[in-house]
Structure 1
Amino acid sequence: MTIGALSGDPHEAGDRRHGRPAPASGDAPASGVVRAPMASVVASELLRTGFAARLSGGPSVDDWEAKLLRYGSEYMSLGAEDIQRRVAHELVVVQQQLDQPRLWSVAARLMTLYAKTFPGSDGSKAVRWYRMAAEAADRSGDDGTRVWVRGRAAIALGYEGASLGVADVLADQAMAISDRPSLGLLNAVFGKAHAAALRGDVGTARELMERGRRVFDKAGSYEESSDYAVPWWRLNVFVSLLAARLGDEDVAVAAQDAAARELPSALPRFATHLELHRGLMLARSGDVRGGAAHARAALSALPPEKHSLTLRLLLAELERS
């Protein structure tokens, strides 16, 4: 694991073959002149953080678990850039403590969260981190972590509609490790369902949706707003998009209504997800222009700092349809 991989910048520093800065985008500084000094400052701070952790011994296991709970909650409302920068520092610290087996579980869950800040379509970043998270989870020896890490990666990729082959592999691995109902298994089943729907395998997607509902009945987490939780409203966010992709309008509308009734007001990003699902339904029914306009209006109404990479990928999927 290199410092460059943890720099917190979701874009390459430039075109190294030709010595030119990378083209500007909405997420990156427009000037490579600004980027180089900033990258140096970030690298210096990461190095200092890593050595300081090694010298001091770093946080205790209980402290790490508390950090994970906090990040799980903050993930639901903070933007990807903020989460990415902060988790990068945490990964440098925990990297110095991996002589303690239980901290491989912490590292695996942090890696999964870090991977989620990259678009799944960028296989050189997001998928690489998901695979490393799975390897780290295996080193922990904890089957719950092994299933959860793979399941979370599978639902992230399946929901985003990216790297579907990897989503399938990780979901299958999670289900092979343990078929005991858990949030990890729930995520794996729905991740595989989304991949099937996007491939046009309607029968398999519907079967997996029903299996996912049965897993939720035994393992759902009800009152939590955390990335480590799947309460009733979040299950219905999964179902809403899946049904929209399958063209099951009645199921999609029922799921959207159920999610909207219980969705915490402090989580407007997920309300925007539901609006994009409605836009996708319009597009799939033939009103592509109306669906795209509905989705863009919903995304514009969300403050920019609340935007996520997943929302952008959903909008792109809708526009392609």
Structure 2
Amino acid sequence: MSLGALIKDLRVARGWSQSRLADELCMLSGSSISREYISRNWESGKFEPSAFWLRHLSTALDTPLSVLEHESMKRRTFIADIAATAIAPRVAADLIQEGFSARLRGDGPSIEDWEAKLAAYGTDYMSMGAQDIQRRLASELVTLQQQLDQPRMWTVAARLMTLFAKTIPGSDGAKAISWYRMAAEAADRSGDTDTRVWVRGRASIALGYEGSSLGIADMFGDQAMAISDKPSLGRLNAVFGKAHAAALRGDLGTARALIDVGRRSFDTSGSYEQTSDYAVPWWRVNVFLSLLAARLGDERIAIAAQEAAVHELPSSLPRFATHLELHRGLMMARSGDPEGGERYAQAALDLLPPEKHSLTLRMLIDEIKRDESLPKC
């Protein structure tokens, strides 16, 4: 099956017209694309979507990116790949039993226990691999959902759901976005303004930093900033999420203006905690800035941010040092040395133990490897 035919089949299976698919892609990407373009170029097989559009097609059509990347495949292989993304029935049964058993026994963790777990996961996320923490979080969430009977529990659930979403970016973008949306709803049920802003801001910076679903990154960022104008870590995340989305769309003026807003926001809401995902210390702001400046092609800001981040980055977080090296690789590629930038980035990634790799790092490598500009319509 050709890629164009596969896109058409997936679209038709959802009951969508070509216009509806174009609308969904525009919302997700923040870039324009027309029904005619989809029909004339993609579904006809005349041209294949770029890596940028493949990511957003994956999200819109709720289909693993690996499936779309295969130019030709038999339908039975496609069905097998889709089925392989589901949780094994036995594993799902064990998780469900664990959750209900805790509820029936009445001996599930107390709210204080859950809040302690929440704090621990904020630290663990920074150093553990995505697969390991995803398995642990899945078990916790199945148990927690049996105890959602007070606002403080919804606060815990919202933050844990946000972390869970961050373990499934990129190739399963639709699922990640679904989790971010549920986390936002859980935060609303908590009634806690800081949580409502933080969940949406964290979703915005996660999607913007990864360069995926730019329209959704903007939406979450706008929601966070509309809920409260009080300085907070959530609002700080939202500002940088929107800045990355603007840079990737080519709106350089907006991205640069948001850098200044972000710096001022840090002055009033930055945190001193260094190793939690819930914190935004100065080194982490500079990680955000380092990639943002590389995307903008601003070598001066990029180098300054990288040096500032390295100076304060805790030695217990080698993954973030690798992020900075990949930003340098992207800067090289954008400066006219794509092969050298790719070699530099890949060598840096190879030095990090595989169990420390994250899906975000792989997405950064993919961004460096792309030798074409982001499409603008």
TM-score by length of 1: 0.89
Q: In structure 1, how many angstroms separate the alpha carbons of the residues matched to 2:117 and 2:225?
A: 28
One-letter identity of the residue aligned with 2:126:
M
| Match status 1:53 vs 2:107 | no
Deviation at 1:11, TM superposition (A): 7.3
Deviation at 1:163, TM superposition (A): 0.3
Query: Residue 78 of structure 1 aligns with which residue?
Result: 128
TM-score by length of 2: 0.76
One-letter identity of the residue aligned with 1:286:
G
Query: Residue 134 of structure 1 aligns with which residue?
Result: 184
Query: Residue 264 of structure 2 aligns with which residue?
Result: 214
Higher relative contact order (CA 8 A, sep 6+): 2
One-letter identity of the residue aligned with 2:360:
T
Calculate percent identity across the aligned residue pairs: 71
Q: In structure 1, how many angstroms separate the alpha carbons of the residues matched to 2:327 and 2:274?
A: 23
SS at match of 2:275: coil
Deviation at 1:120, TM superposition (A): 3.9
Q: 1:179 aligns with which of 210, 216, 229?
A: 229
Q: In structure 1, how many angstroms separate the alpha carbons of the residues matched to 2:142 and 2:171?
A: 25
Q: 1:39 aligns with which of 88, 98, 102?
A: 88
Query: Residue 22 of structure 1 aligns with which residue?
Result: 81
* RMSD (Å) for aligned C-alpha atoms: 2.2
Query: Residue 328 of structure 2 aligns with which residue?
Result: 278
Q: 1:103 aligns with which of 153, 156, 173?
A: 153
| Match status 1:204 vs 2:254 | yes
SS at match of 1:106: helix
One-letter identity of the residue aligned with 1:21:
A
Deviation at 1:195, TM superposition (A): 0.1
> Is this contact kept in 2: 1:186–1:212, CA < 8 A?
yes
SS at match of 1:49: helix
SS at match of 2:80: coil
Query: Residue 301 of structure 1 aligns with which residue?
Result: 351
> Is this contact kept in 1: 2:64–2:82, CA < 8 A?
no
> Is this contact kept in 1: 2:333–2:340, CA < 8 A?
yes
Deviation at 1:52, TM superposition (A): 1.6
Superposed, 1:218-297 pairs within 5 Å as 218-297=268-347
> Is this contact kept in 1: 2:201–2:221, CA < 8 A?
yes
> Is this contact kept in 2: 1:120–1:163, CA < 8 A?
no
Cα deviations by residue, 1:170-229 (Å, 9 ceiling, x for unpaired): 000000001111100000000000000000001100111110111111111124211001
Q: In structure 1, how many angstroms separate the alpha carbons of the residues matched to 2:257 and 2:209?
A: 17
Query: Residue 29 of structure 2 aligns with which residue?
Result: none
Q: In structure 2, how many angstroms separate the alpha carbons of the residues matched to 1:135 and 1:102?
A: 14
Deviation at 1:121, TM superposition (A): 5.3
Query: Residue 15 of structure 2 aligns with which residue?
Result: none
Whose Rg is larger?
A: 2
Query: Residue 7 of structure 1 aligns with which residue?
Result: none
Where structure 2 has 5 or more consecutive residues not aligned to the other structure, the ranges are 1-62, 68-72, 372-377
Q: In structure 2, how many angstroms separate the alpha carbons of the residues matched to 1:263 and 1:82?
A: 23
Q: In structure 1, how many angstroms separate the alpha carbons of the residues matched to 2:94 and 2:260?
A: 48
